[in-house]
Each structure stands twice: as structure tokens, then as C-alpha cells.
Amino acid sequence: MTIPENRYPRANDRDTVYLNRVVTNPNIQVGDYTFYHDFVRDPAQFETNNVLYHYPVNKDRLLIGKFCSIACGARFLFTSANHAQTSLSTYPFPIFFEEWGLEKEQVTSAWDNKGDIVIGNDVWIGYEAVILSGVHIGDGAVIGARAVVTKDVAPYTVVGGVPAKKIKLRFDEETVRRLLTLRWWDWPAEKIQKNLSAITQGNLALLND
């Protein structure tokens, strides 16, 4: 069993794509088997429609792990969506450097740089959820539909709301610890396939690690 080369995980389904088969921006890195589903727009246009205000001048990155599930309309908002709050005005004067006689190199001072967005492995991001710049989401986390995630999310934590807050932990702390140690998503595909029953049934005891 090898990593699929086809961009589409399912026959006759053009609403779902493996993201690392369609993304071309070097500052967007996506792990194997992570998919995006979009029934409104072409999912292959993910980096244009869903990764917003992501300009090379900031050198910030979107890093997404393996086996993530990203629902229709989920968006990742980067640094350039911000306005500098240390300024006495929220108006982004440096963007309009020609109008105000400023140096072009000052353009990044128009916003507060929050850094990379990092999504772990086996993360489920719900319908029209919004992830803000600088946020790190741990392995196995679940982001509720239309949540706005402004802060880091711990592994195997379910969050929802605006702003997103913890709803529950998916498993007890010992199970979470064991899953983070096992890191099944890094296993060879053949080994994952042999353990699918245990994984899908939620039976940690049956995992053959």
C-alpha cells in the first residue's frame, strides 16, 4: 500500500481533494492523506479561497499535519489581516506608503505579526471554522463548525464558539498520553491498514504497535 498520487480520494467525487496534491505555495505544507471538502467552490483552489491575507512579505507559514479533515469553508487568516494595535490609529498607513511618503519596506509595520498557523495530525476542522494567525492546534483536536479560534488548542480537545473555548477532552488523559506516544499517523500505510478496526472502533487495547 503506497501513498496515493491521485488528488481525489474517491471515485466520481470532485468536491474532495488531498490537499498536498493541489497546494503549490511553498509556505503551505500539508501532510499525507489530509483532505479538504468543498461543495460550494472548487476545492483545488484551497490556497486562494481559504488561506487569506497570506503574503510572502511576512514569511509566515501554514503547516498542516497528516490525516486531517477540513470541512467546507474553513479559513485560515494570516498576519496581514491584522492592524497594528500599538498605533494610535487602526488605519494601516504603511500599506499606502506612496500616498503618505513612507518607505515601502515599512509596509509590514501596518499589522501585528502573529506568526505561523500550525495544525497537528488527525485534526478535524468543522464547517466555516476560522483559524487566526499564530494559532497552534494539537494532534487529534476537533474544531467546531463556525468556531473562531484565537488561541492554541491542546491535543484531543474539542472546542467551539466565538471565540472558541474548550468543550471537552475527547478521551481520558491516559488515553491521550498513549495516543501521542504511539503517533499512529506516522506508521507505514500497511500498518495503519492492519489496525483500522482498532482505530475506527476506538479500541486502543487492540492496536498492534
Q: Of 37, 54, 83, 136, which is the active-site residue?
A: 83
> What is the domain partition of the chain in residue ranges?
16-83+116-197
CA 116 to chain centre: 10
Bridge-based pairing of strands 157-160 and 165-169 is antiparallel
Global pTM value: 0.93
Distance between CA atoms of residues 204 and 65, nearest Å:
21
Asked if residue 4 has pLDDT above 80, the reply is: no
The answer, yes or no, to whether the previous bond of 56 is cis (omega within 30 of 0) is: no
CATH 2.102.10.10 fits 16-83+116-197, yes or no: no
DSSP state of 153: B
The mean pLDDT value of the chain amounts to: 94
Is there a catalytic annotation at residue 83?
A: yes
- Residue identified by cell 463548525 is 145
pLDDT tens, residue by residue, 16-71: 999 999 999 999 999 999 999 999 999 999 999 999 999 988 889 999 999 999 99
